Structure 1
Amino acid sequence: MSELIKHECGIAMIRLLKPLDFYQEKYGDPLYGLNKLQLLLQKMRNRGQDGAGLATIKLDPEPGTRYISRYRTNSKNYITDLFQHVFRHFTDLDPALVREPGWLKENKPYTGELLMGHLRYGTHGSYGIETCHPFLRQNNWISRNLVLAGNFNLTNVDELFTELVELGQFPKEKSDTVTVLEKIGHFLDDEVQRLFTWFKPDGFDNEEITKKIVDHLDLQRLLRRASKKWDGGYVLGGFIGHGDAFMMRDPNGIRPAYYYHDDEVVVAASERPAIQTAFDVRFRYIQELQPGHTLIVKKNGVMEEVPFTKPGKKLSCSFERIYFSRGTDRDIYLERKQLGTELVEPVLESIDYDFENTVFSFVPNTAEISFLGLIDGLEEETKKIRMQRTLDLEHKAGEKELTEIARIKPRIEKIVVKDAKMRTFITDNENRGNMVSYVYDVTYGIVKNHIDTLVLVDDSIVRGTTLRDSIIKMVDRLHPKKIVFVSSAPQIRFPDCYGIDMSNLGEFVAFQAAISLIEERNMEGYLENIYEKCLAQEGRPKEEVVNYVKEVYEPFTYDEISQKIAQILTPEGAEAEVEIIYQTIESLHRACPDNKGDWYFSGNYPTPGGNKVVNKSFINYMNKVQTRAY
């Protein structure tokens, strides 16, 4: 993606199933869990920008000893700072003590059997250290302590906050993180109290009851009760103070989660390749956590994947496949290649099959896999063309004719290069903007002046500001006849409300294009009519709300929107013609058949809260209000 879009957080959870001395004896590493957690977070660092944190819990602690350790950081070098802080507790130890797992667990923090790490990518609000995960809900009862971290956004925080107040709570702030923490915490307290009340009449003393609570706490029931009214996309990981662990995924599987287990460890994470690399396991042994299910690991090590709510239609986020998740996952790699292949036909039509005078490239580097898929498809087409032209010669081919036919192939070049970020000291806004535009550079002397068409593949074009203000200006200096930008994602038309930083409707260039077309065609009152429909739904239950913002796009074809986008993004003074080709939603689904969540493209939200959010976003746009719609 040529422009910065913040997106989902990353979460990793490890449960060591053996005593620490097992890992010392087998791997020579009593800090095996910490080192694996560091590697997991390092391999998911694409999912963090604003901070990181980790927490550990020791099993079977002695009363009066610290058994929960946590550290969070919003340092620029968040992963380095996180683990420097943790490992400083061990760096100056006598080497003999470092090889004594029992001593380490008794005397040092971060030596627990349960480990959780989190990478934060904030989409809204504060970015201070207090917003970094994991969060703690502390209590002197060991089974009422809760550690929580997640990758999520809820659309109905106001509704859930009101419920907490009605339960008698006094939350310290109104946010989805605090709301979820307190919601789970409330029902944890309730379940613990229920068990205490159940066992007390049987004559057990309080210490015995505490042990029975550990054995009988029903996490599946707890999470079913706590999540009953949640609306959004989420993957949440949690620890109970005594040693139970869970990872839960929303009913539509919007956010990604995978896990692996053997007789030594249970590990869950946001991305499959991170688990493959950290634990050196094959693709087929890693399972996807199913929508509406929770992975539970009890204190005794028994693991199960069970439903905590009724699973809905699986609508996993397709943007994970297009851009956000790392392309080292086998399935994602192949899907991204297919996304490029799906664009072969419209690209060929755009260049009129003129391979001799077309240069193919990509921007930025993350678009490379889709570019490879496009080139694979183009090479297949050139094979057909070469074969047909050879057959047309009817055995009269000479060396010159065959040489000309053999030259028909895609011209592939590295044209756009992302340069180091340039820090500017000029205070004038216009001059600063000019300097920032040089974040990209180009390869000169490859494109034939005013003859060649330049085709550039991008992951997606959301706002288009980087294209307009930087990239198009740069490549126009190469003097191509035409510049074609090819987006492997469809047109971004609607806001996201499940974790991606795409909530301001007015910023989307596709929305701007539709508004421009409405104005050009003198469709007076059209937007006001949609506005009135959206206003009329305010206050209705989210289950009754309809997405009327779809009507903004209905008068226009897909190509008309693309053409207007190209006009909007063409900078003043550009010599070359600019064209933009977008992936279609139908092609996206063919390429990514198991991740059909496409609400930012289609407006078909997987939860009722999405319709409420998009309508509110449109109301904000009409009222010129720059604020979050949920």
Structure 2
Amino acid sequence: MSDQVKHECGVVLIRLLKPLDYYREKYGTWRYGLNKLYLLMQKQHNRGQDGAGVVNLKIDQPAGKKYLFRERSNLSNPIQDVFSRIFKHFQYDDDHNHEQFCDSVWAKENLPFAGELYLGHLRYGTFGNDSLDYVHPVMRENNWRSRNLVLAGNFNLTNVDEIYNALVELGQHPKDYTDTVSILENVGHFLDEENQLLFRQFKNEGYSNREISSFIERDLDVRKILERSSKKWDGGYVLAGLLGHGDAFVARDPWGIRPASYYYNDEIVVVASERPVIQTALDVRANEVQELKPGYALIIKKDGQIKEEMVSVPQARKSCSFERIYFSRGSDKSIYLERKELGRLLAPLILNKVNHNLEDTVFSYIPNTAETAFYGMMEGIREYLVKWRLDEVRKLGVNPDTAKMEEILSREPRVEKIAVKDVKLRTFITADSSRDDMVAHVYDVTYGIVRNKVDTLVVIDDSIVRGTTLKQSILKILDRLHPKKIIIVSSAPQIRYPDCYGIDMARLADFCAFRAAIELLKDNGLESTITEVYEKCKSQMNLPKEEMVNYVKDIYRPFTDEQISDKVAEMLRPIDIDADVEVLFQSVENLNKACPNDLGDWYFTGNYPTPGGNKVVNSAFINYVEGNSARAYQSCC
């Protein structure tokens, strides 16, 4: 992606089902689970680089012994920082010899992070608040093990205000107004209630308090706690948690907006945000890794029982298509094939744009995330060429000229690597005062392969959000090759509406498609539409979110996709380049063809899966008109 867009977040949960000594004997170290956690977090570093955190829980520690351990970091390399601090505990010294550190029983009794349950988190911060307080996992501590709660998640809620107010009505005094604190206290409240209910039950049966504690840990109904907690949640979420006595869970929103996969055998349970990282870390096949069903929670009891249970009624599946286009790792088989298909489906539109003139067209891509879509695009171009060759050969008749036949059969699309990303330069310039000038050198180009003022240069990107890097950098760089025309192709449709479920795209003014529609309204004497939409949005301010309508759709209604694309091209074309510029976007119809199981397309259509989405887009438009740069939802994840 030429524009940087942030995403929230990555989670990993590991439960070892055998004693630590089992892993020492089989794998050579009791740190097997910790090593897998490190690998799983490293393989998901694309999901969060603003912070990282790890919690370990030791099951059945005796009273007086610490059983919860946490390390978090918000440094520039947070994963490395967290694990370097964890592994410092395992460096033997004069007082403890090497054999002790290798002994699993001694390690569990004496060393932090030598336990059976691990929860890891990778954070992208929506609000730019990189305080350590905002780094997951977060904890709610108590002297009763079964009341301790640790949470980490990949989520955004659209209705933090409702949940916060409900907590205040209960008499609580939340320490912060964020979705993380609200969910922690929300789940914690129902955890306390379930503990209290069981306590009364066993107390009435005549058991002692000490006996009751162990009975509560055995009988605690995690499914019921999550079911009651999540009734008010509006948003996309994967929420992972540990309870102090050893139960663990991962719950997914009922629309399946945010992703989660899991694998287990008789040794280990692993849950992660992405399937291929589990495949890599545990060397298992794709069909052995299961998707956590929308509205369900994977619950791992202290005794090792594993259940996938429904905690919210599943809704129409609206898993995020942006995950498939850009954020998730392309090493997943399904995602790889979907991205190729996105490129292939664009081929007919591109051929029309270049009038099927492949002789004077050079194809390339923006590195590196658009590479897979590029392969698909070229497959589509070559499919056309096969048909073209057949037609041309038929025209030669029964006694074809050999030279002409050879010319036809040898025709291939001109494929070149044009743009080369200079990563070191990009890192250097981020803090430089002359950033705009330096941005033009983020990419370098391969000179001499485009014919001056003859060739059309077709370059595919996986999505175009703001268009800033295109205007300030990429188009200027491509113009150095002196093509006749530059066609920028987006394998994603026009991004028109803000996200509120976990991807950092919250302000309407950031979207080049929205800015283009606004300019078209002005160009065509339809400025009153902006005022009308604003007044409709304002009139909904006091309505329940369930009654709100997405009136922002009216901004786009007067224009075709092509008109908006042409306006985007006009706005993004730098005034100091010679080449003509066109922009071609994927259609929503083709997006849904390529990703048929992931139809969460609200960025492109404005069709939000939850009522809170309409509330957010409503607020975002009001903010735009009023010149308010604030985001239209509250979060801290």
Give the TM-score taking structure 1 as reference length: 0.98
1:190 corresponds to: 193
Instruction: Give the alignment partner of residue 253 of structure 2, picking from 250, 253, 256.
Output: 250
Pairwise mapping of residues 538-617 of structure 1 onto structure 2 (< 5 A)?
538-617=541-620
CA distance in structure 2 between the aligned counterparts of 1:425 and 1:334, rounded to whole angstroms: 35
- Displacement of 1:428 after TM fit? 9.8
1:421 corresponds to: 425
Letter in 2 for 1:55: V
Letter in 1 for 2:198: L
- Displacement of 1:92 after TM fit? 2.5
CA distance in structure 2 between the aligned counterparts of 1:528 and 1:214, rounded to whole angstroms: 58
Matched, 1:9 2:9: yes
CA distance in structure 2 between the aligned counterparts of 1:412 and 1:432, rounded to whole angstroms: 32
2:496 corresponds to: 493
CA distance in structure 2 between the aligned counterparts of 1:537 and 1:436, rounded to whole angstroms: 42
2:30 corresponds to: 30
- Displacement of 1:396 after TM fit? 3.3
Matched, 1:83 2:83: yes
CA distance in structure 2 between the aligned counterparts of 1:312 and 1:482, rounded to whole angstroms: 46
Instruction: Give the alignment partner of residue 227 of structure 1, picking from 218, 225, 230.
Output: 230
Letter in 2 for 1:211: S
- Displacement of 1:351 after TM fit? 0.8
With over 3 angstroms needed to count, the CA separation of the structure-2 counterparts of 1:29 and 1:426, relative to structure 1, is closer
1:114 corresponds to: 117
CA distance in structure 2 between the aligned counterparts of 1:413 and 1:426, rounded to whole angstroms: 29
Contact kept, 8 Å, 1:232 with 1:498, in 2: the verdict is yes
Pairwise mapping of residues 219-618 of structure 1 onto structure 2 (< 5 A)?
219-419=222-422, 420-422=424-426, 431-618=434-621
CA distance in structure 2 between the aligned counterparts of 1:488 and 1:504, rounded to whole angstroms: 22
CA distance in structure 2 between the aligned counterparts of 1:143 and 1:350, rounded to whole angstroms: 64
2:202 corresponds to: 199
CA distance in structure 2 between the aligned counterparts of 1:514 and 1:92, rounded to whole angstroms: 65
- Displacement of 1:426 after TM fit? 12
1:453-476 CA deviation, whole Å, 9 max, x = no partner?
A: 000010100000000000000001
Identical aligned pairs, as a percentage?
56
CA distance in structure 1 between the aligned counterparts of 2:437 and 2:41, rounded to whole angstroms: 36
CA distance in structure 1 between the aligned counterparts of 2:319 and 2:429, rounded to whole angstroms: 44
Matched, 1:68 2:71: no
CA distance in structure 1 between the aligned counterparts of 2:84 and 2:597, rounded to whole angstroms: 39
With over 3 angstroms needed to count, the CA separation of the structure-2 counterparts of 1:248 and 1:460, relative to structure 1, is same
- Displacement of 1:124 after TM fit? 1.6
CA distance in structure 2 between the aligned counterparts of 1:579 and 1:235, rounded to whole angstroms: 39
1:105-140 CA deviation, whole Å, 9 max, x = no partner?
A: 000000110001000011125111111100010001
Contact kept, 8 Å, 2:49 with 2:77, in 1: the verdict is no
1:208-257 CA deviation, whole Å, 9 max, x = no partner?
A: 00010011100010011111100000000000000000000001000000
CA distance in structure 2 between the aligned counterparts of 1:203 and 1:426, rounded to whole angstroms: 66
Matched, 1:163 2:166: yes
SS at structure 2 position matched to 1:275: helix
SS at structure 2 position matched to 1:91: coil
CA distance in structure 2 between the aligned counterparts of 1:425 and 1:219, rounded to whole angstroms: 49
CA distance in structure 2 between the aligned counterparts of 1:427 and 1:243, rounded to whole angstroms: 45
Poorly superposed stretches of 4+, deviation over 4 Å? 422-429
With over 3 angstroms needed to count, the CA separation of the structure-2 counterparts of 1:441 and 1:125, relative to structure 1, is closer
- Displacement of 1:435 after TM fit? 1.7
- Displacement of 1:427 after TM fit? 11
SS at structure 2 position matched to 1:365: coil
1:194-216 CA deviation, whole Å, 9 max, x = no partner?
A: 10011101111111000100111
Contact kept, 8 Å, 1:457 with 1:487, in 2: the verdict is yes
With over 3 angstroms needed to count, the CA separation of the structure-2 counterparts of 1:383 and 1:221, relative to structure 1, is same
CA distance in structure 2 between the aligned counterparts of 1:310 and 1:339, rounded to whole angstroms: 32
Structure 1 alignment gaps of length 5 or more: none
Contact kept, 8 Å, 2:252 with 2:260, in 1: the verdict is yes
CA distance in structure 2 between the aligned counterparts of 1:188 and 1:79, rounded to whole angstroms: 30
Letter in 1 for 2:9: C
Structure 2 alignment gaps of length 5 or more: none
CA distance in structure 2 between the aligned counterparts of 1:92 and 1:415, rounded to whole angstroms: 53
Letter in 1 for 2:408: I
With over 3 angstroms needed to count, the CA separation of the structure-2 counterparts of 1:41 and 1:428, relative to structure 1, is closer
Letter in 2 for 1:79: I
CA distance in structure 2 between the aligned counterparts of 1:112 and 1:207, rounded to whole angstroms: 24
With over 3 angstroms needed to count, the CA separation of the structure-2 counterparts of 1:357 and 1:117, relative to structure 1, is same
Contact kept, 8 Å, 1:547 with 1:603, in 2: the verdict is yes
SS at structure 2 position matched to 1:237: strand
SS at structure 1 position matched to 2:570: helix
Matched, 1:146 2:149: yes
CA distance in structure 2 between the aligned counterparts of 1:20 and 1:141, rounded to whole angstroms: 25
- Displacement of 1:388 after TM fit? 1.1
Contact kept, 8 Å, 1:30 with 1:98, in 2: the verdict is no
Give the TM-score taking structure 2 as reference length: 0.97
1:626 corresponds to: 629
SS at structure 2 position matched to 1:306: strand
With over 3 angstroms needed to count, the CA separation of the structure-2 counterparts of 1:120 and 1:423, relative to structure 1, is closer
CA distance in structure 1 between the aligned counterparts of 2:13 and 2:186, rounded to whole angstroms: 21
CA RMSD of aligned residues (A): 1.3
Q: Which has the higher contact order (CA 8 A, sep 6+)?
A: 2
CA distance in structure 2 between the aligned counterparts of 1:526 and 1:356, rounded to whole angstroms: 45
CA distance in structure 2 between the aligned counterparts of 1:14 and 1:316, rounded to whole angstroms: 24
Letter in 2 for 1:333: Y
1:40 corresponds to: 40
Letter in 1 for 2:425: K
CA distance in structure 2 between the aligned counterparts of 1:428 and 1:89, rounded to whole angstroms: 39
CA distance in structure 2 between the aligned counterparts of 1:548 and 1:605, rounded to whole angstroms: 12
